[in-house]
Amino acid sequence: MRLLMWIMGISLFERLDNDEIRRDSLVKITEVIRDSRLRWYGHVLRMDDEEGVRRDWEEPVRGRRPRRRQKIRWRDKVKEDMERRGLVEDDAFDRRQWRRGRIRQATP
């Protein structure tokens, strides 16, 4: 419960019931994770091309994916998050707009 309260920005002094915190937490936690994933993606896009992380991001994935249900890659989730919020890669280069207005959905 303490972790949920920390993620949601709730103080111990607010004296909320655990049920109330759990009810509101699921949507909030997924938004916090989505925000941090997009924040890191913007950071990677703004890196120099010589940086290791940037080179790895640009490198195509080798090998074949399994025949059964394919595992979702981090790259696929970022693409899904960007489509959900109506973002394109060029938006990440305006850091102020990217951080303040476009990816901060969980915490105003």
Q: What is the pLDDT along the chain (108 residues), one digit of tens a residue?
A: 888 788 778 888 888 888 888 877 666 778 888 888 888 888 888 888 888 888 887 777 777 777 787 778 888 899 998 888 888 888 888 888 777 766 766 554
Residue 66 lies in a domain: no
**pLDDT attached to residue 106:** 59
**pLDDT attached to residue 80:** 92
**pLDDT attached to residue 101:** 60
Q: How many domains does the chain have?
A: 1
Residue 39 lies in a domain: yes
Range of the domain at 35: 2-59+71-102
**pLDDT attached to residue 19:** 85
Residue 88 lies in a domain: yes
Residue 108 lies in a domain: no
**pLDDT attached to residue 36:** 86
DSSP the chain: -HHHHHHHT--GGG---HHHHHHHHHHHHHHHHHHHHHHHHHHHHHS-TTSHHHHHHHSPPPS---SSSPPPPHHHHHHHHHHHHT--GGGGGSHHHIIIIIS--S--
Residue 81 lies in a domain: yes
Residue 107 lies in a domain: no
Residue 65 lies in a domain: no
